[in-house]
Each structure stands twice: as C-alpha cells, then as structure tokens.
Amino acid sequence: MSDQIRPFKLAIPEDELVDLRRRLHTTRWPDAETPGDWSQGIPLSYMREVCEYWADDYDWCRCEDLLNGWDQFQTEIDGTDIHFLHVRSPHANAMPLLITHGWPGSVLEFRHIIGPLTNPTTHGGDVADAFHVIAPSLPGYGFSGKPTSPGWSVQRIAIAWGQLMARLGYDQYVAQGGDWGSVITRQIGVNASAEDNPSCLAINLNMITERPDPDTMDSLTEFEKNALAAAEHYKDWDSGYSKQQSTRPQTLGYGLADSPAGQAAWILEKFWAWTDCNGHPENALSRDDMLDNIMLYWLPGTAASSARLYWQSFGNRSQEDVTIPVGCSVFPKDIFTASRRWAEKRFRNIIHWSELDKGGHFAALEQPDLFIGEMRSCFQVVR
C-alpha cells in the first residue's frame, strides 16, 4: 500500500456524454402514476421534463469546472483509492474540518459552503471562523474506488478517515456529517472518546438518530411526538429504498447502472421526500444542483457500489457513548430528529444544540447560510 497523495482532475470523455444523451432520448417510459401526485413516486410528467432538460440543455462542463476549481486528490487507504477535496483556507490559523456526505449525496452537497468556510472574510465572517475543508467521497461513491470485497463498514470508514487526516498532517481537527456522514462521524466520536489524546476534538451532526428510553414514553414533549411520528412515517412509507439497498444492492445496480432516467428517479425522489420543499424538490434545490449530484453516480457507475454500504452497515448503528464535545444541528424536515434529552443519553458533552426553523436532510445544500452559521457557532467552542 502506498501513502502517496495524488492530484486528481476530472476530464470526462465526450463520448460518455454523447452516450448519456442517447440513453435519455431513447428512454422507455412507464405509464403515468394513477393518483396524479407524488404518492406513488415521481410523476411521469416531471421525470420526462427533467430528463429532456438533462439531455438537451444541461451543461456538465460547468460542473466539471466547479470540481476542478477545488483541489482534488486521491490516496490509497486500506487497499481502496479515496477521492477527496482538500480546500485550504488562506488564513493561517484555520481549523481543519472533515466533512462527510451520505447517500444519495456526494461532495457536491458542500458546493455552497466551501467558500464561506475557507475564506470567511469575503463572505461576511471573521478570520477566526476559518476552516480548512476536507471532504472525502465514501468508498464506492463518486470518484473514490469501489471496494472489491466485503468489509467497508461504517467502523472501517471512520478509521480510514482518521488515517486520511493523519496523512494530511492534521494532528487535531473537527468533524461533521449528515446521513451516512452522521453515522460515520458519530463513530469517529466514539473512537476519539476511547483515546487519551484524541485527534478529533469535536463533532457536529445534522441527523440525530438517538431514540428515547422506554421509561420516558409517557412524558413526551410535542417535539418528541413529532420526531417519533416522522420516524414512523419513514419506516412505513419511505424506507423501501433502504430495504432493497441493504439486501440486494447488486440486483438494483443492473437497472440503475443501465438507465440514467432510472438512476435519476431513484435519487430525485429523495430530494423531494427529504427536503423542506413544500411539495416540489425545486422549491428547495436547483435542478442543476440535483443533476450535478446525480452525475456523480451516473458517470462513475456507482449504483451498486454506493448501495453496498447499506448491505454492510444498515441497522448496525453504534450504541456506544461519545464523550468528546458534540454539536447537534437539528433541521426540522430531516428524516430523523431527536430531542436534547434523548441525545444526552449517549452524547455526554453537548457543547452546541440548535433547532433550526427550516431545512431538511441535505442541510448544507438546502440552507447553506444556516449550515455555515452552525459550523461557526459549534466549533468556536473548541478553537
């Protein structure tokens, strides 16, 4: 294994884009939904509209230029190439921030926050708010390598991220995550809590999955009742994707890897269901932002490899305590929320607790200004 850090630059061949447009133009569409709304999935009319735009008007080169405008690298960790953004602040005392995406996200979730976090003085902040941003692509996602054998669990990724930060020369840093990034970052916190001199000083999570103890169920607040109702809705009506990905990711991959419309629908539905969008995803996210993210699944063909993280780790969340400082940023339309008293059962040193008034699961992409404020407020405590 080499610990070399290699510069990475995207250059997608034109013939891949030609093939994408051809596939979109020849999509075999299903019949329309019977209720005429989103209750059976994405309406046919909207899906056709998006794919027509994707084929005829969408500009991948704009997105490629955006990614290449940041410093990108690959390095081999535990036998797998890890792709990551490493955007350094121009300010000398910036704090290293390791930030992790989930499914169906990518490093492009952070597109609107990287500038303000790394160079706050040009975005309404103070020099004391500066961060170096390190954003890795999960194994099997984006332009990271695809593991060829089982074993890349949440626990293994958390260890790999620690190795990445050490390889970059950061002996102290903070970490943040949502979705799988929340689970991985929580595990980083568990690992750091067992160390005498931890490198990770504090973590922040924007998906809080802690649940109540049975003895508190008869004294639930309205917030807690709503949190449990949302979790029950997710279980009953919104978790079918996770059952498929956690049991048969390979079978799913055959369809999604062959059909850009299918891959897009699989992801776009979550941009509708998990955002604070008032019924339509483009009320929360721009069409280009969503398609750019989908391209990081389509171009490297990660339908199956990204889903395998569910097969490996879904339902195996750590129950261990985190004793290093923890910040919790609770966005109201996230798929899981929790009250502070639930979180305090496992997070023994909460230094920041915030319940935001808008935003959903893709917090950094939906509400970048609020998210930036959360990072600055949370981690100023440990600077």
Tell me which residues are annotated as active site: 179, 310, 361
Is 325 in contact with 263 (CB distance < 8 Å)? no
Q: Which residues are 85's β-sheet partners?
A: 72, 135
Distance of alpha carbon 383 from alpha carbon 360, whole angstroms? 28
Q: Which long-range contacts (CB under 8 A, 24 or more apart) does 282-290 make?
A: 284/360, 284/362, 284/366, 285/362, 285/365, 285/366, 287/50, 287/53, 288/58, 288/62, 288/63, 289/108, 289/111, 289/365
Buried b (16+ CB within 10 A) or exposed e, 246-282: beebeebbeebbebbbbbbbbbbbbbbbbbbbeeebe
**Residue whose tokens read 């535990």:** 78
Distance of alpha carbon 203 from alpha carbon 186, whole angstroms? 7
Distance of alpha carbon 86 from alpha carbon 73, whole angstroms? 7
